[in-house]
Amino acid sequence: MLARLSLRIRIFLFFCLIAAASISAVECALWIGYGRAGKPELFDAFVFSGALSLFAILGITAGIWLLFDENVAKPIERLAAGLRARAHGGVTSSLDPEAARYLGDLAPAASSLLGKLGEANLSTAEAIARETTRLEAEKARLTTLLSEVPVATVMVSPDHRIVLYDAQAASVLSQIAPARLGAALGDYLEASTLETAYGKMVRSGQEIAARITGSDGRQTYGLRLKPLGDAAGYVLIFDSAEARIAPEAARPLIYDFGLLNPVVRKIEERRLSDLSFAVFDTETTGLLPHKDHVVQLGALRVLRGRIVDGEALDLLVDPGTPIPQASTKVHGITDAMVKGAPDFATVSRTFHHFSRDAVIVAHNAPFDMAFLHREAKRLDLSWDHPVLDTVLLSAVLFGASVPHTLDALCDRLDVTIPTALRHTALGDARATAEVLCRMLPMLEARGFATLGDVIEQTRAHGRLLEDLNPVDK
């Protein structure tokens, strides 16, 4: 049980034990001394001496514990978190020796070890960079070729989740809802008809044609379902004429072949590296969610530990009320900028689809989620997604004694927020997503491999922020 407690709590309990043992020893000595004295009139004097000793021991122990906590326990906690950030989070800056100045040679030795490991890994990193450059060039050529072909192509896993889509497919899918990797194809096409066509393809083992209505019921698409041969899954090809493919569509080829392997476990039992996250931020007319309004929403998707390029929302929102000048000074959004923008209902529904089957992530999530929850009943939307807050994740990894602002987190994890993008919804969402990507491997390195593990750990820091995940009864 003690192994699950943090170092600082264990040290605190150690000092409590010292205080209790010291008090017991002194009180026993006084009791024995009183008994040997044989003078009942000295009872009050012995009681006074015992009480004085008790307060003195408690004061001295508390003072020494505070010094030890501030100069030993906290620095050890920060040093461990710093080492983990550099070992697993991709941080390359050197450790701050001043933060552990009372730990003797421990911090310099850790810095020296990191330096040696960095030198040893440098050649490997250079080789990986060269290979990555080559693969990116090949990907770019493939993207260009597929984008010039007048068909919309989607690769789909056996459980009908999107594994790959090209520029043309992104244009088609976006006519229904934002395209996203890992999404169920049933979010875009009528599920029962799709399942029937898939069964026919599996039985025949050959390409088949089908007509399937979009999930919004507005259009029917001519489609071809083509098996992948020996591989699991299939390719879906839209008829270019009926799908109204935009010739100017210019989205990159989006794919993750790891999605070909179906995930059947409950979301709380899945590994962090297998999850998809919808990271978002809002800019508002003020700081009171019960009365203020959203003026901008930005969101990105993180899949299997990386930000998915091309899958983002950057939406201005017409709040239906004038934006206070004080708020405009923070985020730069004026009444003129939101004139003609969609209302919050439209944006909320768009983000709800964007975050379907994903874990929602935000920095100080209770604030942003409060705006969504306030209108949820009226819009018939259920925000029952698991929610992670990077404030609480920071507390889990770095302890509660350090600041957990977004700026502090970015500084700690070598994430740069361009000044022009700070306090914009998409800019802050991007910073939060990059911070999340660096923290995920650090959490796994701590032994918190699943979403359930992480949520359990964040609840230990509930004094910082409200826990937005319901507790199973």
Lookup: tokens for 192? 């029962």
Q: Does the pLDDT at position 357 exceed 50?
A: yes
Report the pLDDT value the prediction gives residue 473, as an integer from 0 to 100: 39
| pLDDT tier, 309 (very low <50, low <70, confident <90, very high otherwise) | confident
| pLDDT tier, 420 (very low <50, low <70, confident <90, very high otherwise) | confident
Q: Please choose, from the candidates 220, 219, 253, 223, the residue with its C-alpha nearest in 3D space to the C-alpha of residue 237.
A: 223
Q: Are residues 58 and 103 in the same domain?
A: yes
* Mean pLDDT of all residues in 107-132: 64
Name the least confident of 84-98, 122-136, 343-357.
122-136
* Mean pLDDT of all residues in 368-392: 95
Q: Are residues 338 and 453 in the same domain?
A: yes
- CATH number for the domain spanning 211: value is 3.30.450.20
| pLDDT tier, 153 (very low <50, low <70, confident <90, very high otherwise) | confident
Asked if residue 118 belongs to a domain, the reply is no
Can you say whether the dihedral through the CA atoms of 306, 344, 296, 174 is positive or negative?
A: positive
Question: Which residues form the domain of 230?
Answer: 149-257
Q: Are residues 270 and 247 in the same domain?
A: no
Name the least confident of 258-267, 285-294, 315-324, 450-459.
258-267
Question: What's the chain's length in residues?
Answer: 473
Q: Are residues 281 and 247 in the same domain?
A: no
SS3 label, residue 375 = helix
Question: Which range has the top average pLDDT, 1-10, 153-162, 321-330?
Answer: 321-330
Name the least confident of 86-95, 182-191, 370-379.
86-95
Q: Are residues 181 and 51 in the same domain?
A: no
Cα(202)–Cα(212) distance, rounded to whole angstroms?
Answer: 17
Q: Are residues 415 and 275 in the same domain?
A: yes
Residue the block writes with tokens 């359930």 = 452
Please answer whether residues 215 and 127 qualify as being in contact, where contact means their C-beta atoms are separated by less than 8 angstroms: no
Cα(446)–Cα(448) distance, rounded to whole angstroms?
Answer: 6
Q: Does the pLDDT at position 79 exceed 80?
A: yes
Write down the mean pLDDT value for the chain.
Answer: 86
Q: Are residues 10 and 38 in the same domain?
A: yes
Number of domains in the chain: 3
The whole model's pTM is what? 0.81
Lookup: tokens for 419? 């000044």
Q: Residue 382, Cβ neighbours under 10 Å: how many?
A: 9
Helical (H) or strand (E) element with 45: helix 43-68
Q: Does the pLDDT at position 22 exceed 50?
A: yes
Please answer whether residues 110 and 83 qualify as being in contact, where contact means their C-beta atoms are separated by less than 8 angstroms: yes
Asked if residue 169 belongs to a domain, the reply is yes
Q: Residue 9, Cβ neighbours under 10 Å: how many?
A: 13
Contacts for 106 with CB less than 8 Å, ≥ 6 apart: 76, 79, 100
* Mean pLDDT of all residues in 93-102: 72
Of 227, 257, 287, the position where a domain reaches its end is: 257
Q: Are residues 311 and 453 in the same domain?
A: yes
Please answer whether residues 239 and 220 qualify as being in contact, where contact means their C-beta atoms are separated by less than 8 angstroms: no
Lookup: tokens for 383? 């925000």
Of 207, 232, 257, the position where a domain reaches its end is: 257
| pLDDT tier, 334 (very low <50, low <70, confident <90, very high otherwise) | very high
Of 82, 109, 136, the position where a domain reaches its end is: 109
Lookup: tokens for 446? 């701590």
Contacts for 463 with CB less than 8 Å, ≥ 6 apart: none
What does 214-243 look like in DSSP terms, one character per residue?
A: BTTSS-EEEEEEEE-TTSSSEEEEE-HHHH
Q: Please choose, from the candidates 189, 232, 193, 188, the residue with its C-alpha nearest in 3D space to the C-alpha of residue 210.
A: 193
Strand partners, 261: none
Percentage of the chain modeled with pLDDT above 90: 55
pLDDT digits (tens, 9 = 90+) for 190-233: 999 999 999 999 999 899 999 999 998 988 999 999 998 777 88
Report the pLDDT value the prediction gives residue 260, as an integer from 0 to 100: 81
Q: Does the pLDDT at position 10 exceed 80?
A: yes
Can you say whether the dihedral through the CA atoms of 261, 436, 94, 65 is positive or negative?
A: negative
pLDDT digits (tens, 9 = 90+) for 278-289: 999 999 999 999
Query: Is residue 363 packed enough to be buried (19+ CB in 10 Å), middle (13-18) or exposed (0-12)?
Result: buried
| pLDDT tier, 373 (very low <50, low <70, confident <90, very high otherwise) | very high
